[in-house]
Chain A
Amino acid sequence: MAVKKDLSINYLGLKCENPFFLSSSPVGSCYEMVAKSFEAGWGGVFYKTVGIFVADECSPRFDNNSKEGLRWVGFKNMEQISDKPTELNFENIARLKRDYPDKLMVASIMGSDDDEWKKLAKMAEQAGADMIEGNFSCPQMSNHAMGSDVGSSPDLVRRYSKAVTEVTKLPFIAKMTPNITSMEIPARAAAEGGAAGISAINTIKSITNIDLENLTSMPVVDGKSSISGYSGAAVKPIALRFIAQMAKDEKLKGVEFSGIGGVETWQDALEFVLLGARNIQVTTGIMQYGYRIVEDMISGFSHFMDEKGVSSVDELVGGALSNIIPAEDLNRDFKVLPSFDEDRCIGCGRCYISCYDGAHQAIDWDEERRRPKLNDNCVGCHLCLNVCPVQECILPGEIKFKEGRRAGDVVIKRHYE
């Protein structure tokens, strides 16, 4: 009797049972894995990138970033594209499509020149893939003719997109690298080359931790290490920003976006959708928790739609975009003073410390009662609200208009988690 909504959505003209897909990575790199993920409820898969080049991987190849008690806020990998024979990968894709005709199979490919791109695209089409994704974005390829070096060159992106779309009718999606200032530029180039979709982001070039035993970064490979891709929850804010900017770009009208980066929950997925994504891809969340996370993505998304009376995912696509505006257009006429709930307050004094050391010395500390008291210095920055450990103890309170500004209605947030 669990609430379950129809989460189907069209992506590039094909009906997907739901927008939740595996992104190209080890989570979708052989028949058994993908089959298990389909049984768990994933709507489709971007199969692990296949090249003519077969990767020769290093060991170990992962590391994670933690903060205080929370491990694995970010994840670093030094993996390249598939280390399995090219033919075997396409055989797997063919078998999966045959055994799971209702699920979507996307072949992720990466060539090092026009011929390789064309060859791989044809192989993908022959294998029965529904779509092709061009991986222009792996940041740790051992050959500069491939990976994010290609993705940061609009010319190469345009050229290889064209190479692929010349030889196949399948929808082509270009996967972007975030290791760039403005993603709209290579994205436009991909669209010019014939790409119908853009997926973002691939991993961010990073050094997660320095190992003090060996004076290199993590993970340690024979005493050395490399700069390589960062993913997981920590990158979601960056991915959301790229998707929003591309979705707002006039020159990219009509291009369909697939959002990737740090998705673990239905809410993460919804955030991408609200910024214009019609498809969601996940890797790190699955590597950490397993395919089962899709159960709560489906259930939670259904409950959200049920609660809001939304009948299709389509209605939600891009719903937040119009409220994301340039900084110069923000209403700067007022400040929202924090309001402290004395009963909820546990007297830790963290708001006092942060306001003094990081804001405007606007909180006086009542030593007797161990309670904060707001003074006239407050600028309404809400650092205190961010630091308070008690849910909804500090909330937006009085709205004060600046000297000489005209008062009007102001929309504020009321509920904090």
Chain B
Amino acid sequence: MSKVFKSDYSSEAVAGFTHRTAIEEAARCLLCHDAPCSQGCPAGTDPAKFIRSIRFRNTKGAAETIRENNVLGGSCARICPYDRLCEEECSRCGIDRPIEIGRLQRYAVEQEEAFGMRTLKAPERTNGVKVACIGAGPASLACAAELAKAGYLVTIFEKEEKAGGMLTYGVLPARLPQRVVDHDVAMTAGLGIKFEFGKKVGRDVSLDDLRKKGFKAFFVGAGLWRAKRPDIPGSDLNGVFTAVDFLKKAREAGGVPEIKGKSVVVVGGGDVAVDSAVTAKLAGAEQVVIYYRRTLEEAPANMDEIRYAISIGITVATNFAPSEISGTGRVEYVSFRGRDGKSEAKVAADAVVFAIGQDPEDMSWLTGVKLTEKGTIMTSRNGTTDAEAVFAAGDIVNNGKTAVEAVAAGKGAAFDMMSFLGK
């Protein structure tokens, strides 16, 4: 992520490339043989190929490569942890610094949109076999796309009113503008995929109902939607949020009016914690402090994001874990205990956001599917579960990783589904 200043909650953080600057950056690419960057992308987006297309003035071809390999290419371009994936692998690191692969990907997808390209089209012939995908997050969208390309009739059931999963309801819009997610979803839908929103499978409709309606196989990409609250006194007070609720609220309302000018404590050390803190700050909170129970070096959050948070006035306090929240009816104070077992702190706060991880919702409605102790779904290779015709991938299986890994797993599961259905 660049150092461009983020001015308000929903305005974009990083400027994109122009045609000229994109070609300049693509000209830095060494056009490697057996390109390491392409091997570094879990979803097989094939950066080496699309960068080459940009370099040789075939931007539309670049957009096609991205979209055909990764239906969420626009979103991934914004939020992938490249520094641990393609860009880390980039050969150019041996000379100076990696190619800005994410930004080039963003450029190509922006051009796809600007040209009104219809990169993905429904196949001319379908095979008449109905399959259902549960959830409209990255894993499901990627799975649905592969199935639709192969001619299956795919319906996605989604409990919320919009597709995108955590990309729509979680990730900070300054990092991932909603229109980028919407464009990815629209391109995917172009494959002829049907969406049923506001339908929670297991509550509003059962798997058996769907079987009766003729669905022959099921993909579960339900993600992790139950936020953890710590088991400490006061965690039910007004003003205590879980990160998922807080971010979703901010996303839906375009901000969080009640924290304007207030003091907010965020608990956690991952990207979700940083996103929550940045959201609070950009939404107008006077003071935002992240408390993390370990050290910064141990924090899973992206260092650039932490640096950015600090640069906009967020404080990060480490080695403190919350022990109690107090106040009359509402949050007034949060108490912490130090990792050393001796230190203690009590700070005044108007709101507390817990970003200490998400858990799966109750998956017991998936009869026959084996769950882990934590409640995530157990699968064999490529998303095959213990129940016949039921497949799963993404956060609900890997316990929460990244969007691109969800895409990769969703694609993989689609191939297992097809070989099952082909039997």
Contact = CB atoms under 8 A, between A and B. Distances in A.
A130 B53 CA distance: 32
13 contacts: A1-B119, A1-B121, A2-B64, A265-B56, A289-B31, A290-B31, A296-B56, A296-B58, A299-B60, A299-B61, A300-B57, A391-B18, A417-B20
Given A265-B57, A296-B58, A300-B58, A417 B19 contact: yes
A307 B118 CA distance: 12
Given A1-B119, A1-B120, A303 B20 contact: no
Given A3-B60, A265-B57, A292 B21 contact: no
A316 interface: no
B60 A303 contact: yes
B53 to A, nearest CB: 5
Nearest to B20: A391
A290 B149 CA distance: 31
Interface of B: 18-21, 27, 31, 52-53, 56-58, 60-61, 64, 68, 115, 119-121, 149
A297 B55 CA distance: 12
A66 B222 CA distance: 54
Given A391-B18, A417-B20, A2 B61 contact: yes
Nearest to A2: B64
Contact of B68 (A2, A70, A303): A2
Given A1-B68, A3-B64, A391-B19, A70 B27 contact: yes
A297 B56 CA distance: 8
Interface of A: 1-3, 70, 264-267, 289-290, 292-293, 295-297, 299-300, 303, 307, 391-392, 417
Contacts of A265: 56-58
A68 to B, nearest CB: 12
A91 B412 CA distance: 47
A297 B27 CA distance: 17
Contacts of B19: 391, 417
A252 to B, nearest CB: 31
Contacts of B52: 292, 296
A88 B342 CA distance: 86
Contacts of A392: 18
Nearest to B190: A1
Kindly name the residue among A266, A267, A303, A392 whose own CB sees the greatest number of chain B CB atoms within 10 A.
Answer: A303
A179 B27 CA distance: 31
Given A267-B57, A392-B18, 19 more contacts: A1-B64, A2-B64, A264-B56, A266-B58, A289-B31, A290-B31, A296-B52, A296-B53, A296-B57, A296-B58, A299-B53, A299-B58, A299-B64, A300-B56, A303-B58, A307-B115, A391-B19, A391-B21, A417-B19
A290 B53 CA distance: 14
A260 B281 CA distance: 59
Nearest to A306: B60
A1 B150 CA distance: 12
A307 B61 CA distance: 13
B46 to A, nearest CB: 12
A350 to B, nearest CB: 14
Contacts of B121: 1
